[in-house]
Amino acid sequence: AIAACADCHTPGALLGKPEMDKLYSGGSVGLQIPELGTFFPPNLTPDNDTGLGKWSEDDIVKAIRTGMRPNGSQIAPVMPVAWYAKLSDEDAHAIAAYLKSLAPISNKVLGPFGPNETPTGPYQPTVFPPQPAASPAPAQ
C-alpha cells in the first residue's frame, strides 16, 4: 500500500472501482505518453504465464529500482523508477517477497501499443500544455 502499486496494477483502480479480488493482477486502464505509446500496467502476481511467476525476487528488485526486466528490456516509462530507486535494500526486497507471496492470478493485460497504434481498451492520455513563445532578447 505504501508504494501505491495497486493504484495502477489493479483492474478498475484508475476508474475509482478497484477489483480487490484481482489485486495486483494488472491494470485495465492504459497510460498514454505522446510519441512513445500506450502502456497498460502489467500483472504483478506470481502467475507463470501472465505475471511475475518466472521472475526471482532479485529480478523484481532490479526492475523496481532500475526499470529493467530480466531480459534486459526497459519497463514502460510511466513506472516511477526514479522514486523506487531510492528504496532501501530491506524495503525493495520486502516488496518483492510480498509480490511473490500473492496467489497467482491469470490476467493478460492489453498492449503495449506503439505511438501510431490505437489502444483497444480505455486509456488516459498525457497532455502537455503548449509552450509559451520565447521572449525576444532585450535590446542592448
Measured CA to CA in angstroms, residue 74 lies from 17, 39, 55, 85 at distances of 29, 12, 15, 15
Q: Region 90-119: what's the mean pLDDT?
A: 96
Q: At what angle do helices 57-66 and 89-101 cross, to 10 degrees?
A: 120
| Residue of 98 and 130 predicted with greater confidence | 98
pLDDT digits 0-9 by tens, 45-73: 999 999 999 999 999 999 999 999 999 99
Question: Are residues 123 and 38 in contact, defined by beta-carbon separation less than 8 angstroms?
Answer: yes
Predicted pLDDT of residue 48: 97
Say yes or no to pLDDT of 140 above 70: no
Say yes or no to pLDDT of 17 above 70: yes
Cα–Cα dist 44/64, whole Å: 11
Residue among 42, 52, 31, 41 at smallest CA distance from 95: 52
Q: Region 65-84: what's the mean pLDDT?
A: 91
Summary mean pLDDT of the chain: 92
Predicted pLDDT of residue 80: 87
- Work out the number of other CB atoms within 10 angstroms of the CB of residue 10: 22
